[in-house]
Amino acid sequence: MTKPPSGKQTSGRGQRDLRVKVKTAKGRRLSSTLWLERQLNDPYVARAKREGYRGRAAFKIMELDDRYEFLKPGARVVDLGCAPGGWCQVAVPRINALGENAKKPQGRIIGVDLQEVEPIAGVELLLLDFLAEGAEDQVKALLGGRADVVMSDMAAAASGHKGTDHLRIIALIEAALAFAYDVLEDGGTFVAKVLAGGAENQMQAELKRNFTKVANVKPPSSRADSSEKFVIAMGFRGRARETGEGE
């Protein structure tokens, strides 16, 4: 299990906070200074650099999988909006994508994004709009079948208006979910980032109709001042729904 890294260091006289302060440089906005200061003092950012991950978001999927165990050896995984690749990095050893453990089945992972992503060993990267016609067929062809997991850490471009940003990310998640319906295998898992705000209630109801278990989680590595949380929907029963079973 992953443990939240400590943001403090210990001296011989006990524990003291070694927080880095950043002065606002000429021509730089206060918001940029505050962001830089937060990055420099974020223990997860430091840990990501130390452990070779492409971003602190890697620890979010790590903590979610430690709890729900959906990234299993042999799993076929699709990571929507995968840039810069931290979630893919975490998935590779957990699904045995490189086949390094001969005693366990080898999984496959496809990272999909609109922008180019630096290669990751064990990951097939697709420069693709997952909303484009035929995108799901391309993914299934690469996977050699349906996916066991569809995951998304996508967020819409921020407008600065909390309500608008919330609606935008809900629309993005609903699009990701529609894609998942097309590619998920029976019993599959859907994982996505959401922002708390109320408009997600309808989506939650839909998830509960189409999955046997739905949970909402804020992992330890998610910043306390962020409204983000993650929905974990397990046990996809969409194939039965499509054929009219269980209606």
The catalytic site residues sit at: 193
Q: Which helix (H) or strand (E) holds 208?
A: helix 201-210
| DSSP SS3 for 131 | coil
| 113 annotated ligand binder | yes
List, as own/partner pairs, every contact residues 97-101 make where C-beta atoms lie below 8 angstroms and the sequence separation is at least 24, other chains included.
Answer: 97/122, 97/123, 98/122, 101/73
8 A C-beta contact, residue 117 and residue 92? no
| 87 annotated ligand binder | yes
Alpha-carbon torsion 86, 92, 94, 95, what sign?
Answer: positive
| 153 annotated ligand binder | yes
| 35 annotated ligand binder | no
User: Residue 147 and residue 238: Cα distance in Å, rounded?
Assistant: 13
Residue whose tokens read 């039965």: 240
| 129 annotated ligand binder | yes
Residue whose tokens read 């330890």: 220
How many of the other CB atoms lie within 10 Å of CB of 156? 16
Q: Which helix (H) or strand (E) holds 147?
A: strand 147-152
Binding-site members for S-adenosyl-L-methionine are 85, 87, 113, 129, 153
Binding-site members are 85, 87, 113, 129, 153
